């Protein structure tokens, strides 16, 4: 029997009413994440990645709201819970790792105070036992001399060490799900790899599902099991990371990979490619496929009808080129050259 996913998002729509109209930063997004799996969510700024994560954990600022769809955590709906009920889930059942560790940590409290409070609130342990758990958590994420550093303040740690503390904080209550929103952006490249590897290892060992939000396809390639590529609020491709990175089906995914530096040393791949144009504003999303104004393979249908997610190998891609009715168009397109 197939194990049910830890997180299941179905046809999620987020709306933000404004004077000029209703914005849809997240539009009919669906995906599942299994226990111990890392799903990478990637795309340019404005694609809807972080808003999707915020919707999952109930942190959409009013007047924004979930207009339709469902979010289920181990089978139980959480998108329709009251704020007080959602607060009990955040931190205990869903851990969070954000881009700026200083925004996640209270500068006036020691890291020990913050870890101990989280453990006491969510696990109901006495202070002495919570302190032991906090020290063990710091040791697990690689903080040296954890029994002494536990009484240090956030500003006394380096950026990489602060992010390790945030990971310890996110995992302190042994959550079923972890959402990591650009967790390595503010760090040096060498530290990025350590943090990503640490997050992946700890979540695998604990069987937690991970939603890794990033704009960096390199991080996705090294970390994720599957990847969801977002554009203008929609998932345009989702599938195993090796297939999406190695042989992407959607022209936008191809463009993202073309703009990612290669470590192969192949001279032909040294020149990076760029995607022409820019992400559309939410008030002016093009008709049909939102990517068609930037797509060198676009044809008549693309500006009239929005494609559903269509099967392409082991992946799904929202592109009419993946439809059997349009397969002949694949042969006539020269996407890599057109995107240069």
* Best CA proximity match to 229, nearest among 209, 247, 193, 256: 256
* Residue of 154, 39, 42, 73 lying closest to 106 (CA atoms): 154
The torsion angles phi and psi of 230, rounded to 5 degrees, stand at: -110, 145
Q: pLDDT digits over 324-337, tens only?
A: 776 555 444 444 44
Rounded Cα–Cα distance for residues 129 and 335 (Å): 59
Residue with tokens 């929202």: 318
Q: What is the structure's pLDDT at 325?
A: 72
Question: In 3-state terms, the chain is what percent helix, strand and coil (to 5)?
Answer: 40, 20, 40
SS3 10: strand
Q: Nearest-5° angle of CA 49, CA 55, CA 58?
A: 145
pLDDT at 258: 81
Rounded Cα gap, residues 328 and 87, in angstroms: 52
CA distance 317 to 308: 8
- DSSP of 59-107: -PPTT-EEEEEEEEETTEE-TT--HHHHHHHBTTTEEEE-S-HHHHS-T
CA distance 279 to 45: 8
Cα–Cα nearest to 194, from 214, 172, 167, 213: 167
Q: What is the CA radius of gyration of the chain?
A: 21
Write down the pLDDT at residue 200.
Answer: 87
Give whole-number Cα distances, 262 to 186, 230, 254, in Å: 22, 22, 14
pLDDT number for residue 216: 83
Q: What is the largest CA-CA distance in the chain?
A: 69
What parts of the chain have a pLDDT lower than 70? Answer: 1-2, 261-270, 326-340
Q: Where do runs of H (alpha helix) occur along 105-207?
A: 111-123, 127-140, 146-149, 159-171, 189-206
Q: Point out which residues pair with 10 in neighbouring strands.
A: 70
Task: Look at residue 239 and give its three-state secondary structure.
Answer: strand
pLDDT computed for residue 159 by the predictor: 87
φ, ψ dihedrals at 287, nearest 5°: -70, 165
Single out the residue of 109, 102, 267 nearest to residue 187, CA to CA: 102
pLDDT of residue 327: 57
pLDDT of residue 139: 93
CA dist., res. 233 & res. 125, Å (int): 41
Query: What backbone torsions phi and psi does residue 102 show, to the nearest 5 degrees?
Result: -70, -25
């Amino acid at each position: 029997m197939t194990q049910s996913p830890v997180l299941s998002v179905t046809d999620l729509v987020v709306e933000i009413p404004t004077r000029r109209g209703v914005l849809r930063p997240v539009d009919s997004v669906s995906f599942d994440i299994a226990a111990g799996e890392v799903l990478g969510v990637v795309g340019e700024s404005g694609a809807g990645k972080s808003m999707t994560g915020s919707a999952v954990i109930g942190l959409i600022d009013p007047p924004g709201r979930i207009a339709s769809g469902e979010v289920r955590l181990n089978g139980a709906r959480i998108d329709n819970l009251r704020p007080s009920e959602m607060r009990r889930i955040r931190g205990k059942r869903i851990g969070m790792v954000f881009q700026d560790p200083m925004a996640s940590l209270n500068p006036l409290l020691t890291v020990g105070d913050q870890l101990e409070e989280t453990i006491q609130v969510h696990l109901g342990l006495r202070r002495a036992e919570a302190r032991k758990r906090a020290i063990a958590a710091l040791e697990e994420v690689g903080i040296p001399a954890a029994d002494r550093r536990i009484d240090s303040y956030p500003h006394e740690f380096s950026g990489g060490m602060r992010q390790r503390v945030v990971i310890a904080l996110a995992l302190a209550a042994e959550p079923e799900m972890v959402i990591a929103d650009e967790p390595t952006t503010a760090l040096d490249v060498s530290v990025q790899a350590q943090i990503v590897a640490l997050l992946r290892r700890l979540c695998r060992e604990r069987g937690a599902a991970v939603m890794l939000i990033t704009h960096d396809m390199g991080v996705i390639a090294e970390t994720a099991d599957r990847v969801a590529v977002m554009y203008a609020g929609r998932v345009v491709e989702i599938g195993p990371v090796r297939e999406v990175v190695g042989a992407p089906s959607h022209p936008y995914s191809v463009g993202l990979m073309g703009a990612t530096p290669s470590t192969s040393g192949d001279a032909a791949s040294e020149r990076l490619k760029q995607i022409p144009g820019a992400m559309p504003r939410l008030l002016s999303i093009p008709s049909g496929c939102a990517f068609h104004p930037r797509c060198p393979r676009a044809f008549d249908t693309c500006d009239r009808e929005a494609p559903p997610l269509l099967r392409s190998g082991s992946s799904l891609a929202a592109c009419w080129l993946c439809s059997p009715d349009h397969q002949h168009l694949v042969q006539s397109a020269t996407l890599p050259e057109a995107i240069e």
